[in-house]
Amino acid sequence: MKFDRNTVIGFVLLGILFIGYFAIINKDQKATRKQKQEELAKEQRVIDSIAKLRKPVEDSLKHINDSVALATQSQLFKQMGDTIEKTTSLSNSLIRVTFSNKGGRVKDVELKNYRGTDSSWVKMGATTFDKLGYQINAVAASNQGTASTADLIFSKIDSATLANGNQSISFTLALDSGNTYITHEYVIKKDDYMIDFTVKMGGAEKILSGGTMNMLWQYAAAQQEGSLSYERENTQIGYVKDGSFDYHSMFKRSSKEFNDAVSWVGVRQRFFLGALVAKNNFSAGSKIEWSSPADSLREVIAATAQLKVQVPAGKDVTIPFSIYYGPSDYNILRKYDMKFDKLVNLGQGFYSFVRPINKFLVIPVFNFFKSYIGQLGIVIALMTLLIRLLISPLTYSSYLSGAKMKALRPEIEKLKAKYGEDRQAMSMEQMKLFREAGVNPLGGCIPALLQIPIFFALYSFFNACVDLRGESFLWAADLSAPDKVLHWGNVPVLSFLLGDHLSLFNVTACITSLLISVYSMSMAPDQSNPIMKWMPYIFPVFLLFFFNRLPSGLTWYYTVSNLVTLGLQFFIQRYVIDHDKILAKIDENRKKPKTKSKWQERMEQMQEQQKKMKELQQRNKR
């Protein structure tokens, strides 16, 4: 098989970019993996030792906490009505929200359009860790002290259906007298994941110290996908500070303090987002911390936000918030105009340059086909065909360059026979040949490199696209997860190389990549360097290990794309490119006067210097 410098440079650069990309996105996880494993192992030993006792302990703690809450209420706060926890549920077409009068808060949110690993509705904000409250003062003259609203029973409950079809529910905690109170009011809007949350206070100057609400939001993201580790790798903490969006990987750091106003903080766990919004902003001095819970808890991340809100002066105040529990769907989040959509990883950090490709090409094309076709596997195939059609000019340019190189193959072979092992002389003569023939040796490499951003864009898109979640196609049960046709668990060598499974779409993607390499090599000049000769065949094997844990929707895309590439190569080379015209054009170029570029002049000067140095060394040896 034969190979030219153009192909070598192309594959080397492609390999460096691919491998570098995967190395960068896994850098943080690899750097902390050992430490995390040690920490989790210690935690796991403790958890396992008390696993059998956990439920009675939790029941006891719950009883104690309830007793403490009731005792606090009776001593510090004058209660009206019941002191028993009650729950109430409200629904719209998208969510069912369960409220508790203990804390007057959201107890959990169920997403009707998404199923969890147990086939029930995805539930958010439902762990024992989840909590939302703030510190208030005892207002009775005879008492001193503070308590968290999360531990208090809001005994008065009112609900109503509004004229616009929205539903409201409010929880009121009466303090000392009818003029001193706290009301938590929630509004569930039609066809919306966002919950409006308003705090109303009578006698706010007595309830809060220094006019500041010190809010505590605890949120644990329960595991929703099959692979906890992969879900953690795709989990981020996001916020908008002083009008600008920013985010952090859950492994890169463990806390963030805010010195400026913050409009919202949120936790995205690949496909779902929990966010708390302050419509009048959280003030400077707020903070959020996060950690990885033990694997046995089946929780992706546990975050604790200590948030400050400056309350306007006055006896009676209203403090507006919003709470979002829903899918991390770009199309949904961008409608809120709060920069939620930036937390969807369509290209972030070093690879943010591919985000416009996803926003203005990939997502519109995907949405267009999805609006007409229900089977997303077919949608991916059609999207692949259209994208390949759009970049076909680059593809044609690459193949045309390859055809020119193939036309020069006989003359290159003559040069090899003439100069033998003198690679320097061979290189100089080959460059002269290319210049005389008007052939650019990088002509096939550059179009290929221009397609790399599309690869990176699609890698991000398929990892972030919630529409693929739970969608089956052929043998793949879930296009957002690997299609595990073989599953072997923890087998030392296989687990190190491939993980705990084998993805069949990954195999088809790698096989078709190998076929492309075989066909391309048959079109290129011979390559004497054995390493360069076998690199195109080795690269698809590397892909087998890189791609095995990727979503099956992505590896299905690569399979279709590779099949299209093979078809285009055959069709263009056989029916589009006229090899006789290419030879005629090369002969015509040879007759034209040649001008050298500065780069060519420098290269020839360097080669001449190297040739003279080599001749001088040979004379000295003699």
Residues 408 and 535 in one domain: yes
Query: Please, what are the averages of pLDDT over each run of 10 residues along the chain (622 residues)?
Result: 47 56 52 50 51 48 50 48 80 95 95 90 94 84 74 91 90 82 94 95 88 94 91 94 91 90 95 95 94 92 95 87 96 94 91 92 94 93 90 72 70 73 71 69 62 87 93 92 84 77 90 82 56 66 84 93 84 69 67 60 67 70 64
pLDDT confidence of residue 494: 76
Asked if the structure places residue 525 within a domain, the reply is yes
Residues 235 and 260 in one domain: yes
Asked if the structure places residue 45 within a domain, the reply is no
Neighbours of 98 (CB within 10 A): 17
pLDDT confidence of residue 318: 93
| Collapsed DSSP state (helix, strand, coil) of residue 620 | helix
Asked if the structure places residue 72 within a domain, the reply is no
Asked if the structure places residue 53 within a domain, the reply is no
Residues 508 and 417 in one domain: yes
Q: Which of 190, 187, 153 has its CA nearest to residue 170?
A: 187
Which of 317, 344, 371 is the last residue before a domain boundary?
Answer: 344
Name residue 347's amino acid. Answer: G
Residues 225 and 250 in one domain: yes
Asked if the structure places residue 603 within a domain, the reply is no
Compute CA 3 distance to the chain's CA centroid, rounded to the nearest angstrom: 37
User: Domain of 272?
Assistant: 77-344
Residues 396 and 465 in one domain: yes
Q: Which domain CATH number covers 167?
A: 2.70.98.90
Which residues on adjacent β-strands are paired with residue 266? Answer: 238, 275
Whether the CB-CB separation of 160 and 170 falls below 8 Å is answered with: no
Residues 306 and 381 in one domain: no
pLDDT confidence of residue 535: 64
- 394-419 as b/e: b if 16+ CB within 10 A: bbebbbbbbbbbbbbeebbeebbeeb
DSSP state of 26: T
pLDDT confidence of residue 35: 52
Residue 75 phi, psi dihedral angles, 5° rounding: -90, -40
pLDDT confidence of residue 74: 44
Residues 373 and 487 in one domain: yes
pLDDT confidence of residue 54: 47
Residues 336 and 401 in one domain: no
Residues 307 and 407 in one domain: no
pLDDT confidence of residue 163: 84
DSSP letters for 354-421: GHHHIIIIIHHHHHHHHTT-S-HHHHHHHHHHHHHHHTHHHHHHHHHHHHHHHHTHHHHHHHHHHHTT
Neighbours of 205 (CB within 10 A): 17
Asked if the structure places residue 451 within a domain, the reply is yes
Residues 420 and 555 in one domain: yes
Asked if the structure places residue 59 within a domain, the reply is no
pLDDT confidence of residue 529: 52
pLDDT confidence of residue 51: 47
pTM for the full predicted model: 0.78
pLDDT confidence of residue 438: 65
The domain tally of the chain equals 2
Asked if the structure places residue 56 within a domain, the reply is no
Residues 330 and 359 in one domain: no
pLDDT confidence of residue 568: 79
pLDDT confidence of residue 293: 92
Residues 556 and 426 in one domain: yes
